[in-house]
Structure 1
Amino acid sequence: MASVTGDMSRHDSRPWLVLVCLMLAVLIPAATYRLTQAAAMARLQDTAAVAAQTRALALDSLLDRQRAVAAVLAVDQQVVEALRSRALADVAVSAKLDLLRDETQSSVIYLLDAGGRAIAASNWDQPVSFVGHDYGFREYFREALASGTGQEYGLGTVSGRPGLYLAHDVRADGQTMGVIVVKVEFDALEAAWARDPAGTYVTDETGQVIISSQPQLRFQPLPPVPDGGLVQAPVRRTDWRLAVQVPTSAAGRVAALAAGTALLATLLAGVAAALISARLRRAARRTRAEAAYRADLERAVAARTSALSDEMRERQAAEQRLAQLQSDLVQANKLATLGQVTAGFAHEVNQPLATIRLLAENGAGMLQDKAPPVRENLDRIVGMTDRIGQITSELRSFSRKATGAVQAVSLRDAVEASMMLTASRRRASGMAFDLPPIPPNLCVRAEAVRLEQILVNLLTNAHDAQEGRPDPRIRIALDEGPAAIDLTISDNGPGISAEMAAQLFTPFATDKPQGLGLGLVISRDIARDFGGELDVLPPAEGRGAAFRLTLPRAA
């Protein structure tokens, strides 16, 4: 009966297998098509970008050559003399302009007097000669008179052919005598671009096409193209932009070919999977017939389950031992740090004790003499004893083992306690200390003893790093966020080497001769237990070391 039920479930699963195969046969070619099309479009856009830059440089070179022609003719003595004489149809100058036009491959070169009338032109001997025509109304003529140079793209009034007019003023004796004009037509350039199937367009500042591989688009807006189907490059010293159209249809053909290949591969994989599935079903039938093997397997599974249970219990015990060892390691590090501040504690206690003794002796002497200052000395003795009690209280609190309870802790109290524990070393070395104002109600999620452990570790490291330096200084910066508080502790020490920075939070890695290399590791673990972080930062002034302690903000 169980065998019949198993056969029915296997037959029921076959339609799902067919459905999955059909979904893969659709999804894989579709994904292949999109990825291949994107890659092909990227390659085509790169090619079009190179073509656009190359063609923009070629156009720029052509325009520079024609501008140079106008600039050279503007200082030609024969041109200046022709303007002085105002002789209409100066054949010698016209012949010279015709020779230059042929050498520079410009369309036409002509000379205008100060009123805009053409007195010489390279086409002087042709029916469409410009000589005698008035061009004072043209924009390029007015620009050249006003600023020395001018240019305008438009249709010729005589020839009716479009082109770019480049104008340059001709000056003599400090006065503008006239304007030399070079007209450039781009028929050859457009014919060269037309041999490329990708369309090439040059648009002016209004967005109209002025030069194109498709001349019928001239003086029309740029035709619409799909997204990513156009690559543009600027033309230097003009408001023009050269655009090259990306052949997106080629990317579609490549993507379709790749999708077809993926579909064929998916179908072949489906056939192979069907054959493998049939073989596996035959093997499964033989396996189900081996009842004895199944019984042995069940016994082996039961034995293995029992062994895993024992292993899990051993692992839990090991984890508990590890947690205890970590707690002991934290306490050991705190005691080691406590040893470092013992000298400071002795200094802080001995000075008040000496003062107490002196004042007590003075007080005794004054009592004998019944002098009035006795009360004042006794008050100072009380103040000194209070100070000793405060110092010993902070040391006892620091050496106490942490409870592990995370709660709201006053950040200012923790910083002040840590500063008191390290105050003697700071005063002994004349170390400057920059501490920002910390609001008394600013609290973080932490445990007071372990938070002081982190701060003492960081302050002690800052002290050690500046041992023997002429300008020791410790800076604490506070940055309040809505969810977290950043406390940055930096120093003026020699900084941290690249090798040490890479392994700074690795156990037993230290550059101190007497260090264990555990303080920063334990401090980071404590910060992470609070839900915060401890990391090293590059110092703002490019010197010393800087550590940032991030703690979650408490309500």
Structure 2
Amino acid sequence: MAVIVLLATFALILWQVASLTRQVELDNLRRSLDQNLSRYTLSLQNELEKYQNLPALLATDRSFKNVLYNSDNRVLVGSLNRYLSEVRTITGASDIYLMAPSGQTLASSNWNTPASFVGKNFHYRPYFQQAMAGDEGRYFALGTTSRKRGYYFSHPIRSADAVVGVVVVKIDLNDIEEQWNDELTDLLVTDIDDVIFISTRESWKFKTLQPLSGSDLRRIVDSLRYVDQQLVSLPITEREPLAEGVELITLLEDNPDAGDRSIDRLSGSRYMLMRLAMPEAELNVVALAQLSQVSSRVWNAVVLTGVILTVLVLLGLFLLLRQRIQYERQRFKEQANRTLELNEARVRAVIDNTQAGLITLDAQGRIESFNPTAEALFGYSAGKIERRYFSHLIAQPDRAVCWRMITDPQELPEQAQVPVLEVQARRQDDALFPIELTIVPVRDHGERKFIVTIHDLTERKEYEVSLRDARDLLEQRVLERTQALQGANDRLRNEIEQHQHTQEELIQTAKLAVLGELSAGINHELNQPMTAIRAYADNARQFLELQRTERVAENLQEISGLTERMSKIIAPLKVFSRKSSGQAEPVSLLSVRKGAMSILYGRLHSEQVEVNWPESLEDLLVMGDMVKLEQVVVNLLSNAVQAMQGQEHKQIDISLELTDTHLCLEFRDQGPGIAPAELSKVFEPFFTTKAAGEGLGLGLSISHRIVENLGGRLSASNHPEGGACFRLCLLRVDRARID
């Protein structure tokens, strides 16, 4: 609530300061504007007075009447034109000319210029009409011929109490306009209709300070006073009267910072407007002073007042806060004393009720206090043991180390971690028992003292003994268990060796099965060549007896071809007889292909199976064992041939896929494929889809194990277009790294 009242008071003071400052600044601005306006009006009046009697003086010249009576006399007219030109030059007037009663100009100072008034009729001008009525005329207008602003003085020329002509003097007020220059004040001169014809702002010329009525506008247009100028009023949106001839206005002006946003281009500017009438000249002098300087001074006064108030408030708050701090400091001191007393009582209660023995020593190691736990441990009462040396409570062998902790300050740095000692303590009945103690140095009013904390280790030592016995028993059991595990490991190792031996036997069995197939095929294949060789040999002997040596040579050539064919037939036995190296090494994929195709040559030829291998295998190396890889490929090809039994067209397509680390071969046959339920079982031992007696179901299982041992993968699937697919992936070897 106090903050709200303070803020409200603060705002009220600032508002009062702003109001008073604004009123004072407006009064100052009005006085300054009044002085400037009087000065500007006087300068304008002096300028006009220089020429106001000139028409009357010229009207007395006899030459003007001569021209009026003899307007056709060119000599008289020419002489008057030259005379008017000289007068214009001497007086500094803009133009001087003579008008006939009809309004036609008979002679003019600008007779020899393109904008000459000679021959022009200005009967519609009020200054002409006033002079013809016998009065002196004064008028401001925009020249219809010269298109220049001018102030006109006219005077009648009389003859026998009759007006026979009018002499007119036109002056230019541009010099006065250029002399008025004030950054914060704009000066205007208006006619009796409040039309601005002199202004320090170019854009305000020929604007009105008040909207014109329809009749006034028609009157001005009919007199051609401002020719074709559009007489629109200035966009004054607000008027606030202050005094007679003084008001505050809001004028819409272009805002150059608004860019292309037409809506935002107009902004309201505040002005103080003061006018001073010149009735004899039918003019009004108007001054507009910008209120930005008033707003700036009001703002400065408000800011200064705000700063002063803020400083006063902060000073008051500082004094209040200082008094509050002194009060709080006194209260805190009293509370600290009470807290200290409570803490001392609490510490004493803790010391008396703690489970550890607490003893305080003086600088010489004498006992000053003995808590109840220490009394129970050592069997001494506090009054009986006080002032005795602490070493009296320690067994003889451990007294030296405890005494060094008290007497040698290097043994116990104040900021170091306090060492914990395990020593033998001595009770009042001279019984020894183990304890754990710490000796901590403290300062009491500048005097060095010690606090000794004691824990009885009797139960812990007994527990350590039991724990040691349990550990020994556990170590014995672990040793026995380790020996049992060692025996189990030995048995497991023997089983693994037996398993490997069994695997080798299975591989050997698979080889024997293949060997049987090879033998049967070779036996069948060799019968025909051998029969043919026998026939060719018998025929050659007969041809030799008949001395037909050319036929003998032909038969011998046929025999040579048959022996080469027999060599190819028995080549699989040579390849099959090779032994595995037992170690993985870089193997050429082309060599694996040749070895596998040599083993299956007879079977593939007899069953008319087409095997399509990928091109460019000579540069591809894989990590493996030559013999085992040949066996895997032979098994995959043999299974593919077996799957296509009974089909007319037998084809095996082998595709190649390379990655950065692996080389994959996919073997696809044209058979019926593998049943989906059997895909997960094809690599299990003794699983086969062949008829009884045609296989043991070990080929794929052994092949899968071989590929895994070589760090590869062997998987089975069915091709979308039919047939089974076996994918063999092996580790790829870069030939460049080997070279």
TM-score, L = length of structure 2: 0.35
Greater Rg by CA: 2
More relative contact order, 1 or 2 (CA 8 Å, 6+ apart): 1
Considering fraction of residues, name the structure with more helix.
1
Considering fraction of residues, name the structure with more strand.
2
